[in-house]
């Protein structure tokens, strides 16, 4: 399996337009995971990424396709932004106020919310898959092998031992710098942010945020920037892999 690139039904956080079997594969996965509702019009919340204006048509297709599938099962389907789902999952004790960031495979999504209302939603196109591809190109390995090595136990607090680890460190640092700068620009340009005297918590989630030292790298990068809002803490979600799903569940409970 390491001598070929894996085919993906999802790309850049949405249904892969370059893969003919993308939807049949996703539908088969969903069929195995999502049961029929216990009652008609039970609420099911599903996460969607933020999209730049030029990718809005693709997001419209992605969201509508998923909604129609869940509706065909008998659910009342509700979409929730992925970063907002992290806020719902992790910031209940802060009145759902703060910054939620989900670092996934195709995208990194970030949302700044006040009292559960999103004020800023953004995504960057550097994430786990782009790290795998970039490292693979830099060291002459398949992205599939890079991903396996990365997930075996990448430690960003330790000096790299070989060219693969060195490249992983470089591209993780590049991802974090890109994400922090994008968030800083979005907040700086926002015209009508709610005013608050409190510093805001920031929570990280997603599989790409799992390597040891990611939180420290993110906070260190954040503190070197002149950030437009005060951050009280940078912490990892209780379970980075399920935070978005848990936030979607909370959103569905609020809808009932």
89 occurs within a structural domain: yes
| Phi/psi of residue 95, nearest 5 degrees | 55, 35
For residue 221, tell me if it sits in a domain: yes
Residue 146 lies in a domain: yes
Per residue, what are the HEC states of 82-95?
Answer: HHHHHHHHHCHHHC
Q: Is residue 3 assigned to a domain?
A: no
Would you say residue 2 lies in a domain?
no
| 140 found inside a domain | yes
For residue 59, the domain's CATH number is 3.30.420.40
> Are 104 and 131 contacting, i.e. CB atoms less than 8 angstroms apart?
no
For the chain, the domain total comes to 1
Residue 211's domain comprises 10-255
Nearest 5 degrees, angle CA 54-CA 56-CA 61? 135
Neighbours of 32 (CB within 10 A): 8
Q: Are 179 and 124 in contact (CB under 8 A)?
A: yes
Tens-binned pLDDT, residue by residue, of the chain (256 aa)? 455 567 889 998 999 999 999 999 999 999 999 999 999 899 999 999 998 878 899 999 999 999 999 999 999 999 999 999 999 999 999 999 999 999 999 999 999 999 999 999 999 999 999 999 999 999 999 999 999 989 888 999 999 999 999 999 999 999 999 999 999 999 999 988 888 889 999 999 999 999 999 999 999 999 999 999 999 999 999 999 999 999 999 999 998 7
Q: Which helix (H) or strand (E) holds 230?
A: none
**Per the domain annotation, does 43 fall within a domain?**
yes
Tell me whether residue 70 is in a domain: yes
């Amino acid at each position: 399996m390491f001598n070929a690139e894996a085919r993906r039904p999802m790309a850049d956080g949405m249904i892969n337009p370059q893969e003919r079997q993308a939807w049949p594969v996703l539908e088969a996965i969903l069929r195995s995971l999502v049961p029929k509702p216990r009652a008609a019009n039970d609420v099911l919340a599903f996460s969607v990424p933020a999209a730049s204006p030029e990718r809005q048509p693709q997001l419209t297709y992605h969201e509508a396709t998923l909604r129609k599938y869940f509706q065909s099962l008998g659910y009342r389907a509700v979409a929730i932004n992925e970063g907002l789902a992290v806020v719902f999952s992790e910031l209940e004790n802060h009145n759902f106020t703060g910054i939620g960031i989900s670092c996934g495979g195709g995208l990194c999504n970030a949302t700044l919310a006040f009292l559960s209302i999103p004020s800023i939603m953004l995504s960057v196109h550097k994430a786990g898959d782009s790290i795998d591809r970039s490292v693979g190109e830099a060291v002459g390995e398949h992205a599939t092998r890079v991903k396996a090595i990365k997930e075996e136990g990448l430690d960003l607090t330790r000096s790299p031992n070989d060219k693969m680890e060195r490249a992983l460190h470089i591209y993780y640092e590049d991802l974090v710098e890109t994400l922090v700068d994008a968030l800083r620009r979005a907040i700086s340009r926002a015209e009508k942010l709610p005013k608050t005297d409190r510093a805001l918590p920031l929570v990280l989630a997603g599989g790409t945020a799992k390597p040891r030292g990611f939180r420290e790298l993110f906070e260190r990068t954040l503190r070197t920037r002149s950030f437009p809002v005060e951050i009280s803490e940078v912490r990892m979600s209780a379970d980075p892999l399920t935070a978005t799903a848990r936030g979607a569940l909370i959103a569905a409970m609020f809808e009932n």
